[in-house]
Every structure is written in structure tokens, then in C-alpha cells.
Amino acid sequence: LTLAVVLPQHNLTYPWAWPRVGPAVRLAAAAVNSRRDLLPGFTLGWVFGSSEDRHGVCSAVAAPLVAVDLWLAHHPAAFLGPGCVYSAAPVARFTSHWQLPLVTAGAEAHGFGDKSEEFGSTTRTGPSHRKLGELGVQLHRHFNWTRRALLVYWDERVDDRPYFFAAEGLYVQLPTLHNLTVMDVVFRDGGNFSFIIQEIKAKGR
């Protein structure tokens, strides 16, 4: 019984990088195999493929190619990872098509919460931005904030865009409060902060 692992191989800026997760995978496999009552007649093994590109960052190209290679070569029973949003999305679509489970500590973006089709076999063990959005809704109800919400976030459109996806959860969920206007202001490193302050004054009240 084979587990396919698709994670960043070297880059420790990701919490799900292989040097962090690998020891846990080895320990888990050893623990499962030491108990014959868990998977009688099977031995759990794993194969690894890196989701990094040549620059060492999560790749929406490398991850699905590696996933297809592992599926064809090893016929895994399940996938562990990827964690990065742009890497996880295409791999999750493949695993749904293959009817295989995918477990990830990442993939926090709001869209992964849709289990009706492409992400139906994806299970997230970590936090999700949909839940952050639901928290925002509860806070607005509790404090009776009923007119408008302004989301201000930093976005460089590189790598995994964590602030964009965090804001997305709020942006999608807050309109479920009827008559609430939701706006967003994006700023970048070296941006015009005077303009941003004026936008907050104009749109946040």
C-alpha cells in the first residue's frame, strides 16, 4: 500500500516542507506497519516527489507533473500534499478524477471548501480561510457592524499569495450579511501609502 508524498523538498519557509514532514511520515509508516491489526495483509510504504521548481518555490507546474509520474509508476492509494495553494489545486483535481484521497496541511484557500466536484476527495488538516471568513461574519453580527467592511491587504502576486487568499475568505463570506458593502484595497511593497490612507478614509466609513 503506497502513499504518494508531494511536498517542497528543501525550502524550509514552508511549514509542510519535506525536511519537517518527512520524519513524521517515516514514524507514522513504521507505527502502522508495527501493528498488523491496522492494515492486515498490507505493508504501508511511501514515495516522494518534490513540488518545488528550479528556484526552490512551490510550483503549479512541477507538482501536477510529479503527481502524474507517481500515479503512473507506483499506483498510490492516497496522496499527502501538496500544501501550497497553486500546487495543491491541480493535484487535487487529478486525485478527484482518480478517485483517490488527498490529505494536506495547507490549501487554505476558500475554493477548496467546495466538495461538490473538483475538490471532493481533498481533506485539509490545517486552518482554512473559509473559517476565517465565517469568523468575520460572526464578529460583524456580534458587534452589529452592518454597513460596510474594508479589507486592506498586501499582495505581490508571487509565490502562494497568502494575504490575498486570507482576504478572499472574508471577501466571499462577509456578503452573506445582507446589505453589507464589502470593498478591498490592495497595497504592495513601496506603494503609495498616502493614497491607501485616503482610500481607507473614503471607503471604510
Whether 116 and 134 map to the same domain: the answer is no
Pairing of strands 122-124, 102-104: parallel
- CA-wise closest residue to 83 among 14, 23, 130, 133: 14
- Residue that terminates a domain, selected from 65, 92, 124: 124
Same domain, 162 and 191: yes
**What parts of the chain have a pLDDT lower than 50?**
none
Q: Among residues 85, 106, 124, which one ends one of the domains?
A: 124
Count of the separate structural domains present in the chain: 2
- What would the pLDDT profile of 92-135 be if each residue is shown by its tens digit? 999 999 999 999 999 999 989 888 888 999 999 988 888 989 99
Q: Are residues 13 and 100 in the same domain?
A: yes
What's the CATH code of the domain at 91?
3.40.50.2300
pLDDT score recorded for residue 195: 78
77 and 10, same domain (yes or no)? yes
Kindly state whether residues 149 and 96 are assigned to the same domain.
Answer: no
**Residue 205 pLDDT:** 58
108: CB partners within 8 A, 6+ apart: 85, 124, 126, 127, 128, 129, 162, 165, 166
pTM equals 0.84
